[in-house]
Amino acid sequence: MKFSALIFANLFRKKARLLLTIGSFAVALFLFAFLGVVSDAFSRGADVAGADRLVIINRTSIINTIPLSYRDQILRIPGVKYITHDNWFGGIYQDEKNFFPQFVIDPENQRQVYPELVVPDDQWNTFLKDRDGAIVGAATMKRFGWKMGDRIPIKTTLYGLAGNAWEFNIDGVYHGKRPQDDETQFWFQWDAFEERVPERLKGQIGWYILRVDNPDDSARIAKTIDGMFMNSPSETKTETESAFAQGWVKQFGNIKFLIVSIGTVVFFTLLLVTGNTMAISVRERTPELAVLKAIGFSDRAVLGFILGESMVISIVGCVGLLLALLVIPVLARALAGMLPTLLITPKTLVYGVVAALLVGFASAILPGIGAMRMRVVDALRRV
């Protein structure tokens, strides 16, 4: 610690340069955190997926339906514990920009298949008795300032019913047990949906979700289900919920690759900027470093000072992560419904700090080694 005065004094030698360098770190780390959060958001489907859940969709495409009549046959397969089904409703609340996902659910089995999405029993019972009832995620409730009992009009866009407004009563609110659980969904009952859709769509569901007794049996069960409906008018494609979520994200393109590419460019640029800054900073005080060596500071001590300065800059630059902690929740609220929940995780913060330290180290190591190897007599001639 006795050397800290020297390190800090050197850091504050050029205040504007110090601020700009710390600013570079802060901006890069903020961007890193934001990209990490977006990446997490897109991959969260896979992360939050139940290990014991399988998703069954129409082999042709998810927009093609599957007969409800498959349910009982699937339920008879050994190892299948619960099964439920969903339909995508795709309605609009007041304006298109107010997007949030609406699902037609099977109230009988919803809670058994998604135990992590919790609805209080009294609210659930009210919902079951209310044909026009809806259960809404806590985030969407907060976003629109809805209250229990509010009547919410949702304009349909699909199923040949485009333009009609369906009205729902908010009977309950669900909360996720984990921070990463999606709390933006809007659920209403299958029966209410089925009675309003055209005849050709009655008895047609969007996809099944089932829970199995043992995740180790997932592959066998998936194979059995797909084999069971092979050569039928609605062949199925069964996969784990995690694989399904990953496939869904892939439809947007290789987001992970895009984000990693942007992140790499940002950090490489940061490395060049800070590396150049450290090189200039060391070059400017070559004679001073020579004097330190002349009076007995070792080569390693000189390297340590330079690395220390760079590390302090990178640590202070982590203010960008703190900024992300403040700003991302605000962004998450603003973008609710348009993107999956933006959530900054400890993992992102730890990676950010590690990345900052690595850049700090990498940017100072070459100038530091140069200073370490510098001959005192040569450096003193530059005075």
Residues of the shown chain interacting with other proteins in the complex, contacts defined by CB under 8 A: 2-3, 5-6, 9-10, 12-13, 287-288, 291-299, 375-377, 380, 383
The C-alpha atoms of residue 22 and residue 4 are separated, in whole angstroms, by: 18
Question: Angle at the Cα of 57 (from 51 to 63), degrees rounded to 5?
Answer: 130
**What's the rounded Cα separation, in Å, for the pair 291 and 288?**
5
Amino acid in the structure at residue 39: S
- Smallest separation, CB 174 to other proteins (Å): 59
Closer residue to other proteins, CB minimum distance, 158 or 380 = 380
Q: Which is nearer to other proteins, 243 or 291 (CB)?
A: 291
Of the candidates 22, 9, 11, 7, the one whose C-alpha atom is nearest the C-alpha of residue 304 is: 7
Contacts of 183 (CB under 8 A, 6+ apart): 137, 138, 139, 140, 174, 175, 176, 341
198 or 296: CB nearest other proteins: 296
CB of 273 to other proteins, least distance (A): 23
Residue 135: beta bridge partners?
172, 187
* Cβ partners under 8 Å of residue 58, min gap 6: 64, 65, 66, 207, 234, 235, 236, 237
Pick 14 or 142: Cβ nearer other proteins: 14
CA distance linking residue 46 with residue 43, whole number of Å: 6
Least Å distance, CB 299 to other proteins, is: 7
Q: How far is the CB of 294 from other proteins (least distance, A)?
A: 5
Taking the complex as a whole, how short is the minimal distance between the CB of residue 360 and other proteins, in angstroms? 20
The b-or-e profile of 298-325 (16+ CB within 10 A means b, else e) is eeeebbbbbbbbbbbbbebbbebbebbe
Nearest approach, Cβ of residue 296 and other proteins (Å): 2
Judged by beta carbon, residue 8 or residue 268, the one nearer other proteins is: 8
- Toward other proteins, which CB reaches closer, 292 or 313? 292
